[in-house]
Structure 1
Protein backbone atom coordinates (compact mmCIF):
# COMPACT_ATOMS: atom_id res chain seq x y z
CA UNK A 1 0.00 0.00 0.00
CA UNK A 2 2.75 2.46 0.93
CA UNK A 3 4.83 1.56 -2.13
CA UNK A 4 1.89 2.38 -4.38
CA UNK A 5 1.38 5.69 -2.56
CA UNK A 6 5.06 6.63 -2.96
CA UNK A 7 4.82 6.01 -6.71
CA UNK A 8 1.67 8.13 -6.90
CA UNK A 9 3.32 10.95 -4.95
CA UNK A 10 6.33 10.87 -7.29
CA UNK A 11 4.14 10.92 -10.41
CA UNK A 12 2.08 13.81 -9.00
CA UNK A 13 5.20 15.92 -8.54
CA UNK A 14 6.47 14.89 -11.97
CA UNK A 15 3.25 15.78 -13.79
CA UNK A 16 2.08 18.84 -11.82
CA UNK A 17 5.28 20.45 -10.58
CA UNK A 18 5.46 22.09 -7.16
CA UNK A 19 2.78 20.98 -4.69
CA UNK A 20 2.27 21.77 -1.02
CA UNK A 21 2.12 19.07 1.63
CA UNK A 22 -1.54 19.91 2.24
CA UNK A 23 -2.40 19.51 -1.45
CA UNK A 24 -0.51 16.22 -1.64
CA UNK A 25 -2.33 15.00 1.47
CA UNK A 26 -5.69 15.78 -0.19
CA UNK A 27 -4.74 13.96 -3.39
CA UNK A 28 -3.41 10.91 -1.56
CA UNK A 29 -6.18 10.98 1.09
CA UNK A 30 -3.65 10.81 3.94
CA UNK A 31 -2.49 13.15 6.71
CA UNK A 32 0.10 15.89 6.19
CA UNK A 33 2.38 14.03 8.65
CA UNK A 34 2.22 10.97 6.37
CA UNK A 35 3.23 13.13 3.39
CA UNK A 36 6.28 14.35 5.35
CA UNK A 37 7.32 10.76 6.04
CA UNK A 38 6.78 9.71 2.41
CA UNK A 39 8.85 12.64 1.11
CA UNK A 40 11.69 11.67 3.47
CA UNK A 41 11.49 8.08 2.20
CA UNK A 42 11.74 9.22 -1.42
CA UNK A 43 14.69 11.47 -0.64
CA UNK A 44 16.42 8.62 1.18
CA UNK A 45 15.89 6.44 -1.91
CA UNK A 46 17.80 8.96 -4.04
CA UNK A 47 14.92 10.82 -5.65
CA UNK A 48 16.10 14.43 -6.26
CA UNK A 49 13.31 16.47 -4.68
CA UNK A 50 13.39 19.41 -2.31
CA UNK A 51 10.98 21.57 -0.36
CA UNK A 52 10.57 25.32 -0.01
CA UNK A 53 8.93 27.03 2.95
CA UNK A 54 6.63 30.00 2.73
CA UNK A 55 3.32 30.93 1.12
CA UNK A 56 4.48 29.96 -2.41
CA UNK A 57 6.49 26.97 -1.22
CA UNK A 58 5.99 23.25 -1.53
CA UNK A 59 7.75 20.12 -2.71
CA UNK A 60 9.09 19.68 -6.24
CA UNK A 61 11.53 17.59 -8.24
CA UNK A 62 14.84 18.93 -9.45
CA UNK A 63 14.36 20.50 -12.89
CA UNK A 64 14.71 17.97 -15.68
CA UNK A 65 14.25 14.88 -13.53
CA UNK A 66 11.74 12.36 -14.85
CA UNK A 67 11.29 8.84 -13.60
CA UNK A 68 11.07 5.93 -16.00
CA UNK A 69 8.97 4.05 -13.49
CA UNK A 70 5.46 3.61 -14.90
CA UNK A 71 3.96 2.45 -11.60
CA UNK A 72 1.54 0.21 -13.52
CA UNK A 73 0.17 -2.91 -11.91
CA UNK A 74 -1.25 -5.76 -14.00
CA UNK A 75 -4.80 -4.45 -13.52
CA UNK A 76 -3.75 -0.89 -14.41
CA UNK A 77 -1.99 -2.03 -17.59
CA UNK A 78 -5.07 -3.98 -18.67
CA UNK A 79 -7.34 -1.02 -17.88
CA UNK A 80 -5.15 1.29 -19.98
CA UNK A 81 -5.87 -0.81 -23.06
CA UNK A 82 -9.53 -1.26 -22.20
CA UNK A 83 -10.11 2.50 -22.18
CA UNK A 84 -8.86 2.95 -25.75
CA UNK A 85 -11.66 3.73 -28.19
CA UNK A 86 -10.18 3.21 -31.67
CA UNK A 87 -13.38 4.12 -33.50
CA UNK A 88 -13.88 7.35 -31.57
CA UNK A 89 -10.21 8.25 -31.86
CA UNK A 90 -10.32 7.77 -35.63
CA UNK A 91 -13.40 9.99 -35.93
CA UNK A 92 -11.61 12.69 -33.96
CA UNK A 93 -8.55 12.40 -36.18
CA UNK A 94 -6.35 10.62 -33.62
CA UNK A 95 -6.42 7.08 -35.01
CA UNK A 96 -2.70 6.97 -35.90
CA UNK A 97 -1.73 8.76 -32.68
CA UNK A 98 -3.64 6.20 -30.59
CA UNK A 99 -1.95 3.31 -32.37
CA UNK A 100 1.48 4.85 -31.83
CA UNK A 101 0.74 5.59 -28.16
CA UNK A 102 -0.35 2.00 -27.57
CA UNK A 103 2.81 0.71 -29.21
CA UNK A 104 4.95 2.93 -27.00
CA UNK A 105 3.07 1.89 -23.87
CA UNK A 106 3.33 -1.77 -24.80
CA UNK A 107 7.07 -1.44 -25.41
CA UNK A 108 7.57 0.23 -22.01
CA UNK A 109 5.80 -2.53 -20.08
CA UNK A 110 7.60 -5.47 -18.50
CA UNK A 111 7.19 -8.73 -20.42
CA UNK A 112 4.56 -10.22 -18.08
CA UNK A 113 2.41 -7.06 -18.17
CA UNK A 114 2.85 -6.75 -21.93
CA UNK A 115 1.39 -10.22 -22.42
CA UNK A 116 -1.65 -9.47 -20.25
CA UNK A 117 -2.24 -6.10 -21.94
CA UNK A 118 -2.07 -7.72 -25.38
CA UNK A 119 -4.60 -10.33 -24.28
CA UNK A 120 -6.98 -7.57 -23.21
CA UNK A 121 -6.48 -5.66 -26.47
CA UNK A 122 -7.33 -8.69 -28.60
CA UNK A 123 -10.21 -9.95 -26.43
CA UNK A 124 -12.46 -6.89 -26.11
CA UNK A 125 -14.12 -4.68 -28.72
CA UNK A 126 -16.37 -1.70 -28.11
CA UNK A 127 -19.10 -1.37 -30.75
CA UNK A 128 -20.76 1.88 -29.68
CA UNK A 129 -23.77 2.18 -32.04
CA UNK A 130 -27.06 0.49 -31.13
CA UNK A 131 -27.79 -2.91 -32.67
CA UNK A 132 -30.16 -1.65 -35.33
CA UNK A 133 -28.71 1.86 -35.53
CA UNK A 134 -26.52 3.14 -38.31
CA UNK A 135 -23.04 4.50 -37.70
CA UNK A 136 -23.22 8.22 -36.94
CA UNK A 137 -22.01 10.27 -39.92
CA UNK A 138 -20.46 13.43 -38.49
CA UNK A 139 -18.16 14.97 -41.11
CA UNK A 140 -17.68 18.16 -39.08
CA UNK A 141 -16.56 16.35 -35.92
CA UNK A 142 -12.79 16.92 -36.48
CA UNK A 143 -13.33 20.66 -37.01
CA UNK A 144 -15.44 20.94 -33.86
CA UNK A 145 -12.88 18.92 -31.87
CA UNK A 146 -10.00 21.07 -33.12
CA UNK A 147 -11.79 24.25 -32.06
CA UNK A 148 -12.52 22.66 -28.67
CA UNK A 149 -8.85 21.79 -28.07
CA UNK A 150 -7.77 25.31 -29.08
CA UNK A 151 -10.54 26.98 -27.01
CA UNK A 152 -11.81 28.83 -30.08
CA UNK A 153 -15.40 29.94 -30.57
CA UNK A 154 -17.21 28.68 -33.67
CA UNK A 155 -20.21 29.65 -35.75
CA UNK A 156 -22.44 26.66 -36.48
CA UNK A 157 -25.00 26.27 -39.22
CA UNK A 158 -27.22 23.70 -37.60
CA UNK A 159 -30.33 21.73 -38.57
CA UNK A 160 -32.67 21.89 -35.60
CA UNK A 161 -34.65 18.65 -35.48
CA UNK A 162 -37.81 19.89 -33.79
CA UNK A 163 -38.98 22.25 -36.54
CA UNK A 164 -36.91 21.22 -38.56
CA UNK A 165 -35.19 24.43 -39.55
CA UNK A 166 -31.68 25.69 -40.16
CA UNK A 167 -30.19 28.09 -37.64
CA UNK A 168 -26.85 29.86 -37.31
CA UNK A 169 -25.35 30.31 -33.88
CA UNK A 170 -22.05 31.37 -32.31
CA UNK A 171 -21.07 28.91 -29.57
CA UNK A 172 -18.08 28.02 -27.40
CA UNK A 173 -17.35 24.26 -27.54
CA UNK A 174 -16.82 23.01 -23.98
CA UNK A 175 -16.79 19.26 -24.63
CA UNK A 176 -17.84 16.29 -26.76
CA UNK A 177 -19.84 13.27 -25.61
CA UNK A 178 -20.15 9.94 -27.44
CA UNK A 179 -23.39 8.17 -26.50
CA UNK A 180 -24.74 5.06 -28.25
CA UNK A 181 -22.58 5.75 -31.30
CA UNK A 182 -23.71 9.36 -31.67
CA UNK A 183 -21.61 12.46 -30.94
CA UNK A 184 -22.99 15.43 -29.00
CA UNK A 185 -21.42 18.85 -28.58
CA UNK A 186 -21.86 20.62 -25.24
CA UNK A 187 -21.32 24.32 -25.86
CA UNK A 188 -21.92 27.69 -24.26
CA UNK A 189 -23.85 30.40 -26.05
CA UNK A 190 -26.08 33.45 -25.62
CA UNK A 191 -28.83 31.35 -24.02
CA UNK A 192 -26.57 29.30 -21.75
CA UNK A 193 -25.11 25.83 -22.14
CA UNK A 194 -26.81 23.79 -24.85
CA UNK A 195 -26.34 20.34 -26.42
CA UNK A 196 -26.07 19.84 -30.19
CA UNK A 197 -26.02 16.66 -32.24
CA UNK A 198 -22.81 16.80 -34.25
CA UNK A 199 -24.32 14.92 -37.21
CA UNK A 200 -26.88 17.75 -37.51
CA UNK A 201 -24.16 20.37 -37.99
CA UNK A 202 -24.19 21.53 -41.62
CA UNK A 203 -21.21 23.89 -41.50
CA UNK A 204 -18.52 24.99 -39.03
CA UNK A 205 -16.60 28.26 -39.15
CA UNK A 206 -13.85 28.62 -36.53
CA UNK A 207 -13.33 32.14 -35.20
CA UNK A 208 -10.17 33.80 -33.90
CA UNK A 209 -11.92 34.50 -30.61
CA UNK A 210 -10.62 32.53 -27.64
CA UNK A 211 -12.88 31.62 -24.75
CA UNK A 212 -12.48 30.39 -21.18
CA UNK A 213 -14.57 27.54 -19.79
CA UNK A 214 -16.55 28.78 -16.76
CA UNK A 215 -15.12 27.96 -13.34
CA UNK A 216 -16.67 24.85 -11.86
CA UNK A 217 -17.88 23.42 -15.17
CA UNK A 218 -17.53 19.63 -15.23
CA UNK A 219 -18.49 17.85 -18.44
CA UNK A 220 -19.42 14.53 -16.81
CA UNK A 221 -21.55 16.21 -14.13
CA UNK A 222 -23.24 18.46 -16.69
CA UNK A 223 -24.07 15.51 -18.96
CA UNK A 224 -25.47 13.51 -16.06
CA UNK A 225 -27.76 16.41 -15.13
CA UNK A 226 -28.73 16.87 -18.77
CA UNK A 227 -29.84 13.25 -19.02
CA UNK A 228 -31.95 13.52 -15.87
CA UNK A 229 -33.63 16.65 -17.19
CA UNK A 230 -34.12 15.09 -20.64
CA UNK A 231 -35.82 12.01 -19.21
CA UNK A 232 -38.07 14.11 -16.97
CA UNK A 233 -39.23 16.13 -19.99
CA UNK A 234 -39.52 13.03 -22.15
CA UNK A 235 -41.81 10.97 -19.91
CA UNK A 236 -44.75 13.26 -19.23
CA UNK A 237 -47.38 10.57 -18.64
CA UNK A 238 -47.77 7.07 -17.23
CA UNK A 239 -49.56 3.83 -17.98
CA UNK A 240 -51.01 1.18 -15.68
CA UNK A 241 -50.00 -2.28 -16.93
CA UNK A 242 -50.01 -5.94 -15.94
CA UNK A 243 -46.85 -7.90 -16.74
CA UNK A 244 -45.88 -11.55 -16.84
CA UNK A 245 -42.55 -12.40 -15.15
CA UNK A 246 -40.91 -12.28 -18.60
CA UNK A 247 -42.58 -8.96 -19.40
CA UNK A 248 -41.41 -7.52 -16.07
CA UNK A 249 -37.86 -8.66 -16.80
CA UNK A 250 -37.86 -7.10 -20.27
CA UNK A 251 -39.29 -3.86 -18.95
CA UNK A 252 -36.86 -3.70 -16.03
CA UNK A 253 -39.57 -4.10 -13.38
CA UNK A 254 -39.14 -6.25 -10.26
CA UNK A 255 -41.76 -9.04 -10.52
CA UNK A 256 -44.18 -9.46 -7.61
CA UNK A 257 -43.93 -13.26 -7.84
CA UNK A 258 -44.51 -16.05 -10.32
CA UNK A 259 -47.75 -14.54 -11.59
CA UNK A 260 -48.77 -11.18 -13.03
CA UNK A 261 -47.28 -7.94 -11.72
CA UNK A 262 -49.30 -4.73 -11.82
CA UNK A 263 -47.31 -1.51 -11.98
CA UNK A 264 -47.24 2.03 -13.35
CA UNK A 265 -44.58 2.95 -15.92
CA UNK A 266 -43.69 6.37 -17.38
CA UNK A 267 -44.53 6.97 -21.05
CA UNK A 268 -43.57 9.68 -23.50
CA UNK A 269 -46.79 9.68 -25.54
CA UNK A 270 -49.61 7.40 -26.68
CA UNK A 271 -47.81 6.77 -29.98
CA UNK A 272 -44.53 5.88 -28.29
CA UNK A 273 -46.19 3.66 -25.67
CA UNK A 274 -48.27 1.93 -28.35
CA UNK A 275 -45.11 0.85 -30.20
CA UNK A 276 -43.18 -0.11 -27.07
CA UNK A 277 -45.90 -2.24 -25.48
CA UNK A 278 -46.60 -4.05 -28.76
CA UNK A 279 -43.00 -5.26 -28.61
CA UNK A 280 -43.85 -7.16 -25.41
CA UNK A 281 -46.61 -9.13 -27.12
CA UNK A 282 -48.61 -11.32 -24.75
CA UNK A 283 -46.35 -10.47 -21.80
CA UNK A 284 -48.21 -7.21 -21.11
CA UNK A 285 -51.78 -6.01 -20.69
CA UNK A 286 -52.41 -2.27 -20.69
CA UNK A 287 -55.07 -1.28 -18.16
CA UNK A 288 -54.93 2.51 -18.52
CA UNK A 289 -55.11 5.04 -20.02
CA UNK A 290 -58.20 3.96 -21.94
CA UNK A 291 -56.97 5.62 -25.15
CA UNK A 292 -53.82 3.52 -25.15
CA UNK A 293 -55.68 0.29 -24.32
CA UNK A 294 -58.19 0.92 -27.14
CA UNK A 295 -55.37 1.72 -29.57
CA UNK A 296 -53.57 -1.55 -28.83
CA UNK A 297 -56.83 -3.54 -28.99
CA UNK A 298 -57.57 -2.11 -32.45
CA UNK A 299 -54.07 -3.02 -33.64
CA UNK A 300 -54.47 -6.57 -32.35
CA UNK A 301 -57.83 -6.94 -34.14
CA UNK A 302 -56.28 -5.69 -37.38
CA UNK A 303 -53.39 -8.14 -37.07
CA UNK A 304 -55.74 -11.04 -36.30
CA UNK A 305 -57.78 -10.28 -39.41
CA UNK A 306 -54.68 -9.91 -41.56
CA UNK A 307 -53.22 -13.24 -40.47
CA UNK A 308 -56.39 -15.33 -40.80
CA UNK A 309 -56.22 -17.99 -43.52
CA UNK A 310 -53.37 -18.53 -45.96
CA UNK A 311 -51.01 -15.76 -47.08
CA UNK A 312 -51.84 -14.06 -50.37
CA UNK A 313 -48.41 -14.88 -51.89
CA UNK A 314 -46.34 -17.97 -51.25
CA UNK A 315 -42.73 -18.93 -51.91
CA UNK A 316 -42.70 -21.05 -55.09
CA UNK A 317 -40.72 -24.28 -54.70
CA UNK A 318 -37.88 -24.90 -57.11
CA UNK A 319 -39.27 -27.09 -59.90
CA UNK A 320 -36.21 -29.36 -59.92
CA UNK A 321 -35.64 -29.92 -56.20
CA UNK A 322 -39.00 -29.20 -54.62
CA UNK A 323 -37.26 -26.87 -52.13
CA UNK A 324 -37.65 -23.11 -51.83
CA UNK A 325 -35.42 -21.21 -54.23
CA UNK A 326 -32.11 -20.16 -52.61
CA UNK A 327 -32.88 -16.55 -53.44
CA UNK A 328 -35.68 -16.63 -50.89
CA UNK A 329 -33.52 -18.02 -48.08
CA UNK A 330 -31.53 -15.87 -45.65
CA UNK A 331 -27.80 -15.67 -46.24
CA UNK A 332 -26.24 -17.81 -43.50
CA UNK A 333 -22.97 -15.94 -43.90
CA UNK A 334 -24.52 -12.74 -42.55
CA UNK A 335 -26.89 -14.29 -40.02
CA UNK A 336 -26.87 -12.70 -36.58
CA UNK A 337 -27.38 -15.04 -33.65
CA UNK A 338 -29.60 -13.72 -30.84
CA UNK A 339 -29.54 -9.96 -31.57
CA UNK A 340 -30.32 -7.85 -28.50
Structure 2
Protein backbone atom coordinates (compact mmCIF):
# COMPACT_ATOMS: atom_id res chain seq x y z
CA UNK A 1 0.00 0.00 0.00
CA UNK A 2 1.28 3.44 -0.92
CA UNK A 3 1.71 5.84 2.01
CA UNK A 4 2.12 9.60 2.22
CA UNK A 5 5.31 9.98 4.26
CA UNK A 6 7.03 13.03 5.76
CA UNK A 7 10.72 12.76 6.65
CA UNK A 8 12.10 15.58 8.80
CA UNK A 9 15.84 16.18 8.76
CA UNK A 10 15.88 14.73 5.25
CA UNK A 11 19.29 16.19 4.38
CA UNK A 12 21.07 14.75 7.41
CA UNK A 13 23.09 11.55 7.36
CA UNK A 14 20.28 9.31 8.60
CA UNK A 15 17.54 11.33 6.89
CA UNK A 16 19.32 11.03 3.54
CA UNK A 17 19.58 7.26 3.98
CA UNK A 18 15.86 7.07 4.76
CA UNK A 19 15.03 9.15 1.68
CA UNK A 20 17.25 7.00 -0.54
CA UNK A 21 15.49 3.84 0.63
CA UNK A 22 12.01 5.35 0.25
CA UNK A 23 12.81 6.64 -3.25
CA UNK A 24 12.84 3.00 -4.38
CA UNK A 25 9.32 2.34 -3.07
CA UNK A 26 5.89 3.38 -4.28
CA UNK A 27 5.34 5.71 -1.33
CA UNK A 28 4.74 9.44 -1.77
CA UNK A 29 7.55 11.08 0.18
CA UNK A 30 8.18 14.65 1.30
CA UNK A 31 11.50 15.57 2.87
CA UNK A 32 11.91 18.77 4.86
CA UNK A 33 15.22 20.17 6.06
CA UNK A 34 16.70 23.58 6.63
CA UNK A 35 19.53 22.59 4.26
CA UNK A 36 19.32 21.46 0.66
CA UNK A 37 20.10 17.77 0.14
CA UNK A 38 23.47 16.84 -1.33
CA UNK A 39 21.66 14.27 -3.47
CA UNK A 40 18.05 14.71 -4.58
CA UNK A 41 16.52 11.29 -5.04
CA UNK A 42 13.90 10.79 -7.69
CA UNK A 43 10.22 10.63 -6.80
CA UNK A 44 10.72 12.73 -3.65
CA UNK A 45 9.39 16.19 -2.92
CA UNK A 46 12.03 18.26 -1.10
CA UNK A 47 11.17 21.34 0.95
CA UNK A 48 14.05 23.54 2.12
CA UNK A 49 12.70 25.11 5.29
CA UNK A 50 12.95 25.01 9.04
CA UNK A 51 10.48 22.51 10.45
CA UNK A 52 8.78 25.26 12.42
CA UNK A 53 8.16 27.33 9.28
CA UNK A 54 7.02 24.25 7.38
CA UNK A 55 4.42 23.49 10.05
CA UNK A 56 3.21 27.04 10.52
CA UNK A 57 2.94 27.82 6.80
CA UNK A 58 0.15 25.30 6.29
CA UNK A 59 -0.85 23.31 9.36
CA UNK A 60 -3.50 21.44 7.42
CA UNK A 61 -0.74 19.87 5.30
CA UNK A 62 0.23 17.56 8.17
CA UNK A 63 -3.20 15.94 7.96
CA UNK A 64 -2.30 14.52 4.56
CA UNK A 65 0.47 12.27 5.91
CA UNK A 66 0.05 8.64 6.95
CA UNK A 67 3.53 8.38 8.46
CA UNK A 68 5.95 10.94 9.86
CA UNK A 69 9.57 9.98 10.50
CA UNK A 70 11.02 12.68 12.73
CA UNK A 71 14.80 12.51 12.37
CA UNK A 72 15.45 16.26 12.48
CA UNK A 73 17.80 17.12 15.30
CA UNK A 74 20.63 19.46 16.22
CA UNK A 75 23.64 17.42 17.25
CA UNK A 76 25.45 18.45 20.45
CA UNK A 77 28.61 19.60 18.66
CA UNK A 78 26.77 21.55 15.96
CA UNK A 79 24.58 23.86 18.00
CA UNK A 80 24.54 26.13 21.02
CA UNK A 81 22.38 25.42 24.05
CA UNK A 82 19.43 27.50 22.83
CA UNK A 83 19.51 25.87 19.40
CA UNK A 84 19.54 22.40 20.96
CA UNK A 85 16.49 23.22 23.06
CA UNK A 86 14.62 24.99 20.25
CA UNK A 87 15.11 22.29 17.63
CA UNK A 88 15.20 19.15 19.72
CA UNK A 89 12.40 20.02 22.15
CA UNK A 90 10.28 23.00 21.07
CA UNK A 91 9.99 22.02 17.42
CA UNK A 92 9.19 18.43 18.35
CA UNK A 93 6.44 19.68 20.67
CA UNK A 94 5.05 21.88 17.89
CA UNK A 95 4.98 18.91 15.54
CA UNK A 96 3.28 16.68 18.13
CA UNK A 97 0.70 19.35 18.95
CA UNK A 98 -0.31 19.51 15.29
CA UNK A 99 -0.69 15.76 14.75
CA UNK A 100 -2.13 14.67 18.07
CA UNK A 101 -5.70 14.52 16.73
CA UNK A 102 -4.81 12.70 13.51
CA UNK A 103 -5.83 9.17 14.51
CA UNK A 104 -4.74 7.62 11.19
CA UNK A 105 -1.16 8.89 11.35
CA UNK A 106 1.78 6.88 12.71
CA UNK A 107 4.79 8.71 14.18
CA UNK A 108 8.38 7.45 14.42
CA UNK A 109 10.72 9.52 16.58
CA UNK A 110 14.49 9.11 16.35
CA UNK A 111 15.93 9.53 19.83
CA UNK A 112 19.38 8.47 21.10
CA UNK A 113 20.93 5.69 23.15
CA UNK A 114 22.72 8.51 24.96
CA UNK A 115 19.64 8.75 27.19
CA UNK A 116 21.12 5.85 29.22
CA UNK A 117 24.42 7.58 29.99
CA UNK A 118 26.55 4.93 31.69
CA UNK A 119 24.09 2.13 32.45
CA UNK A 120 24.69 0.34 35.73
CA UNK A 121 23.66 -3.07 34.44
CA UNK A 122 24.11 -4.78 31.09
CA UNK A 123 22.69 -5.66 28.70
CA UNK A 124 20.36 -2.67 28.49
CA UNK A 125 16.75 -3.78 28.51
CA UNK A 126 13.31 -2.22 28.83
CA UNK A 127 13.78 -1.75 32.56
CA UNK A 128 17.12 0.08 32.39
CA UNK A 129 16.94 3.53 33.98
CA UNK A 130 17.68 6.65 31.94
CA UNK A 131 20.73 8.60 33.08
CA UNK A 132 21.68 11.35 30.59
CA UNK A 133 25.19 12.78 30.78
CA UNK A 134 24.74 15.81 28.51
CA UNK A 135 22.18 18.35 27.33
CA UNK A 136 21.61 16.57 24.02
CA UNK A 137 20.41 13.41 25.76
CA UNK A 138 18.25 15.49 28.09
CA UNK A 139 16.53 17.12 25.10
CA UNK A 140 15.82 13.67 23.69
CA UNK A 141 14.26 12.51 26.96
CA UNK A 142 12.10 15.66 27.13
CA UNK A 143 10.85 15.00 23.61
CA UNK A 144 10.23 11.31 24.33
CA UNK A 145 8.21 12.22 27.42
CA UNK A 146 6.11 14.75 25.52
CA UNK A 147 5.34 12.21 22.80
CA UNK A 148 4.34 9.57 25.33
CA UNK A 149 2.16 12.02 27.25
CA UNK A 150 0.29 13.35 24.22
CA UNK A 151 0.07 10.68 21.51
CA UNK A 152 -1.85 7.43 21.84
CA UNK A 153 0.70 4.71 22.61
CA UNK A 154 -0.45 2.65 19.61
CA UNK A 155 0.40 5.48 17.22
CA UNK A 156 4.12 5.97 17.76
CA UNK A 157 7.52 4.31 17.96
CA UNK A 158 10.66 5.70 19.56
CA UNK A 159 14.02 4.49 18.26
CA UNK A 160 17.20 4.77 20.34
CA UNK A 161 20.14 4.07 18.00
CA UNK A 162 23.61 3.00 19.06
CA UNK A 163 26.62 4.55 17.34
CA UNK A 164 25.60 4.92 13.68
CA UNK A 165 28.28 3.75 11.28
CA UNK A 166 28.44 3.71 7.51
CA UNK A 167 30.71 4.48 4.63
CA UNK A 168 32.27 7.92 5.28
CA UNK A 169 30.66 8.05 8.72
CA UNK A 170 32.65 6.75 11.67
CA UNK A 171 32.75 9.43 14.37
CA UNK A 172 35.63 8.74 16.74
CA UNK A 173 36.51 5.64 14.73
CA UNK A 174 37.30 7.77 11.71
CA UNK A 175 40.02 9.33 13.87
CA UNK A 176 41.23 5.86 14.86
CA UNK A 177 41.33 4.74 11.23
CA UNK A 178 43.34 7.81 10.26
CA UNK A 179 45.87 7.11 13.02
CA UNK A 180 46.11 3.45 12.02
CA UNK A 181 46.74 4.39 8.41
CA UNK A 182 49.64 6.61 9.51
CA UNK A 183 50.98 4.02 11.98
CA UNK A 184 50.34 6.32 14.94
CA UNK A 185 49.50 4.64 18.28
CA UNK A 186 45.84 4.89 19.32
CA UNK A 187 44.88 5.99 22.85
CA UNK A 188 42.43 3.40 24.18
CA UNK A 189 40.78 3.66 27.61
CA UNK A 190 40.21 0.50 29.64
CA UNK A 191 42.69 -1.40 27.43
CA UNK A 192 39.93 -1.82 24.85
CA UNK A 193 38.09 -4.34 27.02
CA UNK A 194 34.80 -2.45 26.79
CA UNK A 195 32.16 -4.26 24.77
CA UNK A 196 30.63 -1.79 22.34
CA UNK A 197 27.76 -1.85 19.90
CA UNK A 198 27.10 -0.17 16.57
CA UNK A 199 24.37 -0.03 13.98
CA UNK A 200 24.88 0.30 10.24
CA UNK A 201 22.98 3.25 8.81
CA UNK A 202 21.23 1.05 6.23
CA UNK A 203 20.06 -1.39 8.89
CA UNK A 204 18.81 1.48 11.03
CA UNK A 205 16.99 2.90 8.01
CA UNK A 206 15.28 -0.42 7.35
CA UNK A 207 14.30 -0.74 11.02
CA UNK A 208 12.71 2.71 11.05
CA UNK A 209 10.74 2.09 7.86
CA UNK A 210 9.75 -1.41 9.06
CA UNK A 211 8.27 0.12 12.22
CA UNK A 212 6.48 2.85 10.29
CA UNK A 213 5.03 0.73 7.50
CA UNK A 214 3.77 -1.89 9.94
CA UNK A 215 2.70 0.59 12.63
CA UNK A 216 4.69 -1.22 15.30
CA UNK A 217 4.50 0.85 18.44
CA UNK A 218 6.83 1.00 21.42
CA UNK A 219 10.42 1.92 22.24
CA UNK A 220 13.14 0.10 20.31
CA UNK A 221 16.93 0.12 20.24
CA UNK A 222 18.70 0.47 16.92
CA UNK A 223 21.57 -1.89 17.62
CA UNK A 224 23.39 -4.53 15.60
CA UNK A 225 23.77 -8.03 17.06
CA UNK A 226 26.96 -9.60 18.44
CA UNK A 227 28.66 -6.71 20.25
CA UNK A 228 32.28 -7.41 21.13
CA UNK A 229 35.19 -5.71 22.92
CA UNK A 230 36.85 -2.82 21.10
CA UNK A 231 40.23 -4.55 21.13
CA UNK A 232 38.74 -7.50 19.23
CA UNK A 233 37.44 -5.16 16.51
CA UNK A 234 40.91 -3.64 16.21
CA UNK A 235 42.61 -7.04 16.19
CA UNK A 236 40.32 -8.22 13.41
CA UNK A 237 40.95 -5.05 11.40
CA UNK A 238 44.69 -5.55 11.87
CA UNK A 239 44.49 -9.13 10.61
CA UNK A 240 42.61 -8.03 7.48
CA UNK A 241 45.08 -5.21 6.84
CA UNK A 242 48.00 -7.50 7.67
CA UNK A 243 49.49 -4.91 9.99
CA UNK A 244 49.96 -4.47 13.71
CA UNK A 245 47.69 -1.82 15.17
CA UNK A 246 49.53 -0.09 18.00
CA UNK A 247 47.50 1.07 21.01
CA UNK A 248 48.33 2.45 24.43
CA UNK A 249 46.14 2.35 27.50
CA UNK A 250 44.63 5.53 28.92
CA UNK A 251 43.10 5.65 32.37
CA UNK A 252 39.32 6.22 31.95
CA UNK A 253 39.36 9.11 34.46
CA UNK A 254 42.21 10.78 32.60
CA UNK A 255 40.38 10.16 29.32
CA UNK A 256 37.30 11.92 30.72
CA UNK A 257 39.38 14.79 32.13
CA UNK A 258 41.08 15.38 28.79
CA UNK A 259 37.70 15.23 27.10
CA UNK A 260 36.20 17.81 29.45
CA UNK A 261 39.12 20.15 28.76
CA UNK A 262 38.69 19.75 25.00
CA UNK A 263 34.95 20.40 25.34
CA UNK A 264 35.55 23.50 27.47
CA UNK A 265 37.99 24.83 24.89
CA UNK A 266 35.51 23.96 22.11
CA UNK A 267 38.14 22.13 20.07
CA UNK A 268 36.35 18.80 19.76
CA UNK A 269 33.15 17.57 18.12
CA UNK A 270 32.53 15.11 20.94
CA UNK A 271 30.54 15.59 24.14
CA UNK A 272 30.66 14.59 27.81
CA UNK A 273 28.68 11.50 26.90
CA UNK A 274 31.27 10.39 24.34
CA UNK A 275 34.16 10.77 26.77
CA UNK A 276 32.21 9.49 29.76
CA UNK A 277 30.63 6.44 28.13
CA UNK A 278 33.31 5.34 25.66
CA UNK A 279 35.58 3.66 28.27
CA UNK A 280 32.68 1.47 29.40
CA UNK A 281 30.72 -1.43 27.93
CA UNK A 282 27.39 -0.44 26.40
CA UNK A 283 25.06 -2.81 24.58
CA UNK A 284 21.40 -3.81 24.36
CA UNK A 285 19.66 -7.11 25.04
CA UNK A 286 19.79 -8.94 21.68
CA UNK A 287 16.19 -10.11 22.15
CA UNK A 288 14.89 -6.53 22.22
CA UNK A 289 13.85 -6.05 18.60
CA UNK A 290 10.52 -6.11 16.76
CA UNK A 291 9.24 -9.49 15.63
CA UNK A 292 9.91 -10.09 11.95
CA UNK A 293 12.89 -7.74 11.67
CA UNK A 294 16.49 -8.91 11.30
CA UNK A 295 19.70 -6.93 10.94
CA UNK A 296 21.80 -7.53 7.86
CA UNK A 297 25.07 -6.47 9.51
CA UNK A 298 26.35 -7.48 12.94
CA UNK A 299 28.63 -5.19 14.93
CA UNK A 300 31.88 -6.30 13.34
CA UNK A 301 30.34 -6.17 9.85
CA UNK A 302 29.29 -2.58 10.57
CA UNK A 303 32.74 -1.70 11.90
CA UNK A 304 34.55 -3.19 8.91
CA UNK A 305 32.16 -1.63 6.41
CA UNK A 306 32.88 1.75 7.98
CA UNK A 307 36.63 1.08 7.93
CA UNK A 308 36.44 0.36 4.19
CA UNK A 309 36.03 4.09 3.54
CA UNK A 310 39.56 4.63 4.86
CA UNK A 311 41.16 1.34 3.85
CA UNK A 312 40.07 0.77 0.27
CA UNK A 313 41.76 -2.64 0.14
CA UNK A 314 39.16 -3.95 2.62
CA UNK A 315 36.36 -3.15 0.19
CA UNK A 316 38.34 -4.60 -2.71
CA UNK A 317 39.04 -7.83 -0.83
CA UNK A 318 35.41 -8.18 0.23
CA UNK A 319 34.20 -7.67 -3.34
CA UNK A 320 36.42 -10.39 -4.77
TM-score by length of 1: 0.23
> Taking CA–CA contacts closer than 8 Å with sequence separation of 6 or more, which of the two structures ends up with the larger relative contact order?
2
TM-score by length of 2: 0.24
